[in-house]
Amino acid sequence: MLAIVAPGQGAQVPGFLSAWLELPGMAERFAEWSDVVGLDLVRYGTTADAEEIRDTAVAQPLLVSAGIAAAIALFGDLESAAASADVVAGHSVGEFTAAAVAGALTPRDALLLVAERGRGMAEASAVTPTGMTAVLGGDRDEVLAAIKAAGLTPANDNGSGQIVAAGTLEQLEALAAAPPARARLRPLAVAGAFHTHHMAPAVKRVEALAATLTPADPRTRLLSNRDGAVVTSGSEYLSRLVSQISSPVRWDACTATLADLGVTALMELPPAGTLTNLAKRALRGVELLAIKSPEDLDRARTLVADHAGATSTDLEGQA
C-alpha cells in the first residue's frame, strides 16, 4: 500500500525548483501557474533567497505548485497519480497539494485557493508579531503543560516527539525561558502563528473564495489534518481546508491512520525530507522515499511498481 504525502511551510529552501524546471514542459507549466497565483514562481523557486521565500504569501503557492508538478512528472498526469496512490495526505499547506493529487481540486483551483490562503495568512500575521517553535523531545504531558503555561497553542502535533508551539513572540520567549525538561526548542522559518486564533481573519477571506469553487470527491483515500480521518466528500474536504487555517494540525493522527491502513511505502513530494524524517520513527518498517529532485524519479517509479495496489478497495464508509 502506497502513501503519497506533501510537506508544509518551512520545507522550502532557495533554488529547490531549479532541477524540476529542466524537465520537458515544466517551464511552460510554471509560467501558466505563475499567472494563476500572481507570482513569478520560477524566480522564487530558483534565484530568490531564503528571506524572500519565507514570506507566507510566496511560500505557500510555491510549495503547492512544486508538489503538483512533481506528481505530474512522476505519473504523467494527476489522474494516474490518484489511481496509483492508495492514500494521500498533506501537512498544513501540503493539504492543498494532496487535494490536487487526489482529484478533489483541480491544480488551478488548488493554486487559486492557496494563493489566497497565503495572502490572508500573511496579512493576519502582520497584525501582531507571532511565530512558531518546534519542541523536540521531552515528556508529552510536560511539553503541553509548558506550552499552555506560556500562553501558546500546540499548533502542530507531529508525533515522533515533536510538537510545535505557536503564539506571540513574547509568549515564545517565555517558553524559551522556561522550556520543558529534556526538550530542545527550534524556531521555525515561518512568519506567523499558523493554525491558531491569530489566523481567524484569513479563514473568512479563504472561505469567500472557496464558496465559488466546485470540488470533486477524491479518487483515492484523502486524509484530513483535523483528525486523521479519510474524507471521501470533496465538499467536506474543502470545508476542512478552510477551517484548518486556524485549527491545530494533527499529523500524529494522520500518521496513525497510515499505520492502521497498513501502508508499506511512503513517498514525500518536494521539497521533501520533513515528513519522511518523522516517519522514520513513527512508521517503522515502511519503505520511505523523499523525492528531492528529478534524480529520485526512477526510484519513485520502482516504489510505485512494488507497493501500489490497494486503490481499487471500496472507499465507501471510510469518511
**Annotated active-site residue in 34, 65, 84, 92:** 92
CA gap 248, 153 in Å, rounded: 8
197 carries an active-site annotation: no
Cell of 66: 512544486
What residue type is 24 in one-letter code? P
Phi/psi of residue 96, nearest 5 degrees: -70, -40
Residue of 195, 246, 247, 307 with catalytic role: 195
**Which neighbouring-strand residues pair with 133?**
165, 187
> How many whole angstroms separate alpha carbon 85 and alpha carbon 310?
8
CA angle at residue 101 from 95 to 102, to 5 degrees?
85
Contact 7, 91 (CB under 8 A): yes
DSSP state for residue 230 in the 8-state scheme: B
- By residue count, the chain amounts to 319
Angstrom distances, CA of residue 71 to CA of 19, 112, 144, 169, 218:
15, 18, 36, 37, 16
Identity of residue 245: I
Angle between helices 297-307 and 56-75 (to 10 degrees): 60
Show the cell assigned to 264.
Answer: 508499506
The CA distance from 270 to 146, in Å, is: 33
Phi, psi of 92 (to 5 degrees): 55, -115
Catalytic-residue membership of 125: no
Quote the CA–CA distance of 184 and 194 in Å, as a whole number.
Answer: 21
Q: What amino acid positions are annotated as catalytic residues?
A: 92, 195
